[in-house]
Structure 1
Amino acid sequence: MKKVFLGTLAMTVLLSSCVSQKKYADLEAKQKETQDLLNSATVKLNDCLEEKATADSRLQTLEDQNAFLKANNQELINNMGNLTTLTTKGAENLEKSLESLREKDLTIRKLQDAVTRRDSVNLSLVQSLKGVLGNLDDEDIEISVEKGVVFVSISDKLLFRSGSYNVTNAAKEVLGKVAKVVNNKPDFEFMVEGHTDNVPYRSGVLLDNWDLSAKRATSVVRILQNDFGVDPARMTAAGRSYYIPLVSNETSADRAKNRRTRIVVLPKIDQFYSMIEEGMKDPAIGGGGK
């Protein structure tokens, strides 16, 4: 009986031992499977952590770029505002410049018109003078226009005797013809200039060539006033001595050319200004006609 009991106990223990080993194996397999899953999850977790770190870094970069772009965008907006202001001011300045140019152009056109009319008047004067003096020798009298001014140059030998400032009778005939023209041109003034050569002069009360040239100029002015009725208010007498020669004074022929009396005919200054003002009123050049 005892043997049977021991045998049964031994069998029970043996059977019990067999079941535990199997469970253990199952548990061990499950543990290994769980460990594998854990290892796999750990690897995935690490990968996720790395991806998250990379994503965080990219996110920070993008945020920095976004902040930079926002700042640039604001700066561009500000610059556009400034540019708009500058463009507006530039347009205003350009318009002012164009207006100034238009005004200057208009002024130039008005002046050109006045000068053209002055030149037309001068041409008429020259034609009149040449008409009455055309029969004279060109060496004795010359009519020219320089810089808008009419010049009548009369040689010394025609007007005066050598060393004298008394006008000859032949010269009075010439001066009478000049007076006829200038009396018909009341809008002109003129200056009578005496010129000598460089040979020193002293005779009687005259001290030098200055005195002689001035005395000859006043002699001509007196003839025009007293004999031919030219308004003295329109005339100026001037002595130029020998300081403005036409040619050198090396020969007697050249010195004779330098001894001359020149009548400078020019519009009255206020008359010339009136011509300009009239030009400004001309509708053809944009005048207001006021």
Structure 2
Amino acid sequence: MGRHVRVANLEVWTEQVGAGPDVLLVGGAGDTVESWQFQLDGLADRYRLTALDNRGTGRTAMPDGPVTVAVMADDAAGVLDALGVGAAHVAGFSGGSIVAQELAVRRPDLVRSLVLQSTWALPDVYLRSWLRFVQWLVAVAPSERAFLEGFFLDIYTARAHEDGTVAAFVEEMLAFPHKQTAEDLQRYLDAFLDDGTPDRPARIAVPALVLAGGVDSTARPVLGRAVAEAIPGAQFEAWPTECHQPFQEVPGRWNTRVDAFWQQVEAGATPRPREAPDRPAEPAGRG
């Protein structure tokens, strides 16, 4: 069961499951702890996993004041401190991966390793244009359903649209009682548009695994590769048939790969950079 955790003046919604080495899961735009359900279900036999709703998302309110990457990293650090978690393996996707990077720089005592899915160092012209597109799309879409269907074109593979997985995601989100407002999503995205820390990856001093989707038109592999090249010793893998969120579309593969990385770190081994061949997709679905 989830619960709110007090972090400074904010009540942050968290969910913690499992037993073992600690893992912190940090989601992206509009995504709540439910976005990590395949990981909360599939890895709890090996790890104690903590997920959170970022400020302005789900059951965590959006307080007054600026929303920045640093502020969200402090929120994540505050959750770990409040729960009495020491250093954790930290995984983040999309905007959550940037928060994870910042957390590793601001509070290295709390981060044992990083898994960065669909990440970047600084949004380039293309990604900035896409972030602004989402900001106005959420404001002008004729309905919530229309926004989700349009937004998900860039988030999930064509196969997930064709096999009904995306349609199921849309229905789940329409039924979700703790919806993010258009204004809160826009403020969240502003944090990344305003972010100006291109040297952040080079300041990271923990083992890192950087994953990218080969058909992701937003956080493209070239951006993830640049992050991996800047982090000393980081591993980089581009999965050619995957998009922005393979941890939902191919969760078995994603969990297996991330578990292997964490086990290397736990064993004190130094994960070695490598490129991995793609594999056939498994059935999609978020559960």
Short-chain TM bin: under 0.3
State TM-score, norm by structure 2: 0.27
State TM-score, norm by structure 1: 0.27
Greater share of residues in strand: 2
